[in-house]
A and B are shown apart, each in its own frame.
Chain A
Amino acid sequence: MWLGVWLAVLGLAFGIALGLNLPVTIPQAYAKYMSVAALAAMDSVFGGIRAALEDHYDNRVFITGFFSNALLAAGLAFIGERLGIDLYLAAVVAFGVRLFQNLAIIRRHLLKK
């Protein structure tokens, strides 16, 4: 269990280091989509941690959830922009709320132990 947490932290640190050093910047027009996608991805990871703590972690669910959430959030932002509605706010609110819920559940699980 704790190996997973450490692996997650290690991966995150490695990813941030890599991202900061990669000479890649996305165009400004797509920065909005990327930000929503990143939020969705964060939610997925917290959801995965929560699932692991509740012992019904499924690798496939985790991976597909991660990518589909990210793509859906970015897609929502994209469509919202085309429609003239700030649809990405829906993604922000939904994933934000879930993020806090997941965090609270994780906290409880950790405190229970």
Chain B
Amino acid sequence: MNKKSMYLSIGLITMILGIMLAIQFRTNRYIEQGVPADRAQELQVELSKLERDSRKLDREIEDLSYKLEQAKKGQLQAEAAVQDELKKARINAGLITVSGPGIEVVMDNPSNQSRRSSIFIIRDEDLLRVVNELRGAGAEAISINGRRLISTSEIRQAGSFININLERVEPPFQVLAIGSPDKLKSALEISGGLVDYFKDLGIEVKIQSHSSLTVPAYHKNLQFNYAKAVRKG
């Protein structure tokens, strides 16, 4: 009995020792392959810190992209405003074709051969007076025989021809003016006005109101070599 229990305990104890040793071997090998415990902890701390940083940066990305979007929106609006302003400026300058209600004035030299002396033919002054009258009546865009009149346009006698925008125009003169048709018409047809005057000279004048007519754009290059803009303020 004593011997038996002794053998039994020896076997059992050595077996436990063997298990302990084997587990220890394996654990040691595992430790050598893997990372030490404190290193793992260090890495864990670093990982959590980096995750926190990453979250922070994510929030920052969100914030910045929101700001960028806002800025882009603002830029888009600004661009639209600038385009709008540019369009307005181009209309004002006469650089684009415009259309609207207005009148058409057709003037021709007297058909009567006998009265075709130099006194009775249409001169630059006559056109200038028409243009002046139209502008006085609020014409917003004027062209003569397809030449758009802009701020620098001249109407000038050059020998027996008339130059507009440095280009020769010949009768009959077709003056297109955009504005209130009634106002423009009455400005010309007022008694003792231009039409009466032209009729006296024998110049044929026809005035027609249009609900919509098109005034072409100034087609030359507009260049200011001397005038420079002065900054306000």
Contact = CB atoms under 8 A, between A and B. Distances in A.
Given A15-B21, A16-B21, A26-B27, A3 B7 contact: yes
A38 B2 contact: no
Interface in B109-158: none
Contact of A11 (B12, B22, B28): B12
Contacts of B28: 31, 35
A59 to B, nearest CB: 5
A12 B26 contact: no
Given A22-B23, A26-B27, A45 B14 contact: yes
Given A37-B20, A38-B20, A59-B9, A15 B15 contact: yes
A16 B147 CA distance: 110
Contacts of A48: 10, 13
B6 interface: yes
Contacts of A63: 9, 13
Interface residues of B, number: 30
Contact of B26 (A11, A15, A20, A62): A20
Contacts of B101: none
Given A25-B26, A28-B37, A62 B19 contact: no
A48 B11 CA distance: 12
Interface string A35-66: 10110011011001000000001010011001
Given A18-B19, A38-B20, A59-B6, A12 B27 contact: no
A34 to B, nearest CB: 6
Among A9, A11, A38, A48, the one with the most B-chain Cβ atoms within 10 Å of its Cβ is A11
Contacts of A15: 14-22
Report, as a range, how many residues of chain A touch the other chain.
35 or more
A66 B10 CA distance: 11
Q: Which 7 A-B pairs have the closest CB atoms?
A: A15-B18, A19-B22, A11-B14, A15-B15, A19-B19, A11-B11, A11-B15
Interface of A: 3-4, 7-20, 22, 24-29, 31, 34-35, 37-38, 41-42, 44-45, 48, 57, 59, 62-63, 66, 70
Interface of B: 2, 5-7, 9-28, 30-31, 34, 36-37, 40
29 contacts: A4-B6, A8-B11, A11-B12, A11-B15, A11-B18, A12-B14, A13-B18, A14-B15, A15-B18, A16-B22, A17-B22, A18-B15, A18-B18, A19-B22, A19-B26, A20-B25, A22-B23, A25-B26, A28-B30, A29-B37, A31-B24, A35-B24, A38-B24, A41-B20, A42-B17, A44-B13, A57-B6, A59-B5, A66-B16
